[in-house]
Structure 1
């Protein structure tokens, strides 16, 4: 449940950040009042798009019958990839996000094309909502049938925590800064991505698509058992295994090697970009 709460919390804070920036600009701009209905229409449309994706995923999963295991495993890998993409995107656009959004709003206000505000809000909300849907579906597939009631409860708690976090962040860094928030949560997101990637690999091993090679490679359950309450939380959030197969260890190292390579590539690209 910790995974669900964390993902809903993190994605909801991002969505609130975007809506907050748009709403603040409209409040402080003389012509902004006319754009308010368009903003909230965009928010509603974005939520509807995310719900439509959720329905489509569950429908597709139920219709695939014999291929359901493969579909769910693919969704686990997609969720892990989206986490990495989200971290990279926020690192690249985080500093300029407010400026980019306000620039877009200025253009819409100048031209009187308030429908553009609807599109801007809808795409922003749909992006965060769609990522949340894919993550949750991937986690549901990873758990092999997590109770939906418990998932909904964890999601509701994550949403409530997101509103509280957004309020604290709006205090202007007196308690918690946006920079610290994104840095800490991006580390947690990458650990969660590693956990999901490892779960996908383990599903492939259980389906005899990949060999386990050596199983188990070691037994660290005396230190921390991944089936215990505490160990289960650590395993879900970081990918820790007390009885890992060699293939699982190699997959975990492959994930972090890929992350290191992506960050190195990003840094080189930024260094080569003109100032």
Structure 2
């Protein structure tokens, strides 16, 4: 298994899990609270899921169409921009989950209740469609950024990684539903958030490497140090670490500065997004 295969499978698995979580919450709420109207609600729920998937597929076609219209340096610029955008979206998503994650279930159930009370089934439809399209659109951008920053890709290998991600998501979701009382969702989100942030750093480094290669950004120095004797990024293990975390054995000053600023900004944003405990009244 290559590092790129693992990255693609991980992104699809993680984003699919979030989409499945949203759908599972809405499905469970309809089962327990909608009574005789649950069947009607499920029709609109799954229609919304289908619409969300279609919207994400449309975005993928738009991105691929734009890329096919570009040539030479313009295609390189587009791929650099998409890799950078994917890194920023990953960071934004993790920060958003830190801020909203604890109340996500309650917000979804509250919106579903409004739809049921007012018999506004289109509200449930759009709730599911927006949630699924959001995760699907993020997946499209993330995957394009990953594939654009890779040295070489193959369609069969990419499709195999995507299907592996979907299969793991379905199996893992079923497993957690069975063991829900023993396995808190918070562990899943915290562990995968760390991996996602490392993946965003890797995408940022890949975009920076290409930008410096095209002389869009100066390296500011030669190699500051050489740790290839300890972990060579051209080797099998070093290549996996570099692809998953943005590690560089011989970094220039610009690489070190951007990498350090990314993690400083990430820590600051996560600290600001941490929910504050409610103050007790005197």
Tell me which interval the TM-score lies in, with the shorter structure as reference length.
over 0.9
Greater CA drift, 83-92 or 139-148? 139-148
| Pairwise CA RMSD | 1.7
- The 3 A distance-change label for structure 1 pair 271 and 22 is closer
Q: Is the 8 Å Cα contact of residues 55 and 133 (structure 2) preserved in structure 1?
A: yes
Shift of 1:17: 0.2
Q: If the length of structure 2 is used for normalisation, what is the TM-score? A: 0.92
Distance 1:175 1:273 in 2: 28
Aligned residues: 273
User: Match of 1:233?
Assistant: 240
Shift of 1:266: 2.7
Q: Is the 8 Å Cα contact of residues 96 and 273 (structure 2) preserved in structure 1?
A: no
Matches within 5 A, 1:1-275: 1-28=5-32, 29-30=34-35, 31-66=37-72, 67-173=74-180, 176-267=183-274, 270-271=275-276
Q: Is the 8 Å Cα contact of residues 83 and 189 (structure 1) preserved in structure 2?
A: yes
Shift of 1:2: 1.3
Distance 1:36 1:266 in 2: 34
Cα deviations by residue, 1:53-98 (Å, 9 ceiling, x for unpaired): 0000010111122411111100001000010111011111111111
Distance 1:271 1:38 in 2: 36
Shift of 1:209: 0.8
Distance 1:212 1:131 in 2: 30
Distance 1:175 1:272 in 2: 25
Shift of 1:274: 7.5
Distance 1:272 1:178 in 2: 20
Shift of 1:145: 4.2
- The 3 A distance-change label for structure 1 pair 138 and 257 is same
Q: Is the 8 Å Cα contact of residues 82 and 145 (structure 2) preserved in structure 1?
A: yes
Q: Is the 8 Å Cα contact of residues 192 and 238 (structure 1) preserved in structure 2?
A: yes
Distance 1:71 1:111 in 2: 46
Distance 1:264 1:20 in 2: 29
Specify the SS of the correspondent of 1:42.
Answer: helix
Greater CA drift, 54-63 or 24-33? 24-33
